Structure 1
């Protein structure tokens, strides 16, 4: 019901011309769009925040073109932002992780529109040529039609009860994370693949089909090189999709290992970074600077002005769960205006209402 009311409210605001007012008010700010995977089978039903349909993505780019929002490269946009030379309502398009379907779907759509894009590529699975273990486990539990499964003899099942009701949300989440934690912390990649094969057998889900279809796989080295030849700019996203917030050595190693693989793919500097899973804090900023990183994008919503810190750039995370009117509201800066007004209202209440401060 809340989503329906929000859509109605935004539609009314659009008809009243308020989106165009917000576009003017936000004209000097930079919008950075973020995407992840692109659907080839049923991924948007599985993770609508992570994946987007081909038709939806193409429609997004058509809207950007229709309303004449300039799309810049990341390098160009950041330079112009810092020097107050940004064209009105400029946009940068970014893609995180490097799913295989970036090559199979997104690249051709972007090239058809002649829009530049930055791909933040995490590289562990690029080298392993196997699906992402965590996503495969979650996908198979989502996909199965079984209601109860016996996990007797499975090393990851830490519960004495071997029969698990996977139609029970709490039990299903427990066994999923027991499996993921065991695989990620105690197993090699070949052992994780064997876990997936066994799990597929227990759940009645074809693991080999998941592997062959590459719906949950990242690009291979050769595929990433092909994207580079298509003009897609490839940048840093850590090697293992993890960036420590309290261990400087581990954090820097992620950059070193990530950059080492990217050096096999591209022949230009990799100086832009994206925090994996949007987890970051300001203590990491000196580490990034020491590693010759010039910018870092977050998952915080909002637009960027010339005063935004280079290592705290905001983005709008788009996906199939976002309807067209919501996308338009972000594109035109209406949601940014709404966030600013909401913050001012909250600050006013805190300032003048003693009980609220407590």
Structure 2
């Protein structure tokens, strides 16, 4: 139904009209990684190589000015953006980004920024939380003895439902955060895979859940990739200013020698942020920060809370066009007063009752 409505809107000229009405806004596209395994896994986290390549080909011919992120933010502040200005950002720095996204971008000479988290990139361990979720999902229907894996207070669990697998995953990931270092998480992943009957070494060898190595990052920079900040351990300590400063300092210490320049742009890990940390980010020389909130950024947008347009495997081209041209943005803005009105009426009715 949604796809059909978008096609009708486009045929009626509403996409072209929306593009003109929103031409002064900055569109920041958000991608994550490329799926290197069989079938597909994830939506906004991973895309197929073919879909990403097709998307970049579309962008190259769609007539939206593609700007480097730093220039785009500077021109947003100055009010000098070209009509329909767009920037491409990619989170985390996955190995699949290096293998497939970089060549697709190079093929069309498109600028892009990759926000790199550095602990697993430096250590070259697979990302533990994703390994856990993937193994549990692939082990659907099996029984898992969490106590035998060393998780205190846990027992046997049937992985029959998404809820059961999610709860088991939370218990395992909490154990990883509280009791294990990187090497310990890596060893635990091997034990979990064995318990579920999977070949962990084969998973590791394919680098499905690996980030780019420092050498790959250096090569990406040489080939024109803009790398920027995403914390060292992929976390935003909102209530611990010292820990937040350390996360960004550690991230900078690994990336700036590779980038060979000072880095000033930041992406909130998992989109977690609060406005209260903005003064600290400014003190840390952060000039822009992106969220995973959907939307186009206009002149009044806070540069430390920039919205993005999330693209993923399950997003059809017509929906991507609807976001890019501003049609969905305009429908969001039209709905907001109604939502406030409904919310206010409901609150008043509750108060009167």
Give the TM-score normalised by structure 2.
Answer: 0.95
Pair 1:41–1:170, CA change in 2 (3 A)? closer
Of 170, 174, 186, which residue of structure 1 is paired with 2:167?
Answer: 174
**What's 1:90 paired with?**
85
Alignment of 1:10-21 (within 5 A): 10-21=6-17
Equivalent of 2:19, from 17, 20, 23? Answer: 23
The one-character-per-residue Cα deviations of 1:211-236 (angstroms, maximum 9, x if unpaired) are 11011100111111011111000000
Whole-angstrom CA distance in 1 between matches of 2:27 and 2:46: 20
The question of whether the paired residues in 2 share the 8 Å contact of 1:36 and 1:95 is answered with yes
* Native 8 Å contact 2:25 2:298 kept in 1: yes
Q: TM-score, normalised by structure 1?
A: 0.93
CA 1:104/1:356 → structure 2, altered by over 3 Å: closer, same or farther?
Answer: farther
TM-superposition CA deviations, 1:218-270 (whole Å, max 9, x none): 01111110111110000000001011111111111111000000123110110
Unaligned runs of 5+ in 2: none
Kept in 1, the 8 Å contact 2:139–2:159? The answer is no
- Indicate the residue corresponding to 2:70 in structure 1: 75
Corresponding residue SS for 1:48: coil
After superposition, the Cα gap between the structure-2 partners of 1:173 and 1:349, relative to the gap in structure 1 and judged at 3 Å, is closer
Query: Stretches of 4+ moved more than 4 A in 1?
Result: 348-358
Instruction: Please say if 1:138 is aligned against 2:141.
Output: no
1:307 matches 2:303: no
Aligned partner of residue 202 in structure 1, secondary structure = helix
Q: For 1:262, which of 255, 259, 264 is the aligned residue?
A: 255
Q: How far does residue 24 in structure 1 lie from its aligned partner after superposition?
A: 0.5
Q: Residue in 2 aligned with 1:107?
A: 102
2:265 aligns with: 272
Q: For the Cα contact (< 8 Å) 1:81–1:306, is it kept in 2?
A: yes
How many residues are matched? 351
CA contact (8 A) 1:34 1:93 kept: yes
Aligned-pair distance for 1:348?
4.4
Root-mean-square deviation (CA, aligned residues, Å) is 1.7
| Residue 245 to residue 354, structure 1, CA distance change in 2 (3 Å) | closer
C-alpha separation between the residues in 2 aligned to 1:89 and 1:284?
Answer: 30
Cα deviation per residue 1:134-171 (whole Å; 9 max; x = unaligned)? Answer: 11111111122652234452211532x4x321114433
Look up the match of 1:197: 190
Matches of 2:194 and 2:141 in 1, distance apart? 11
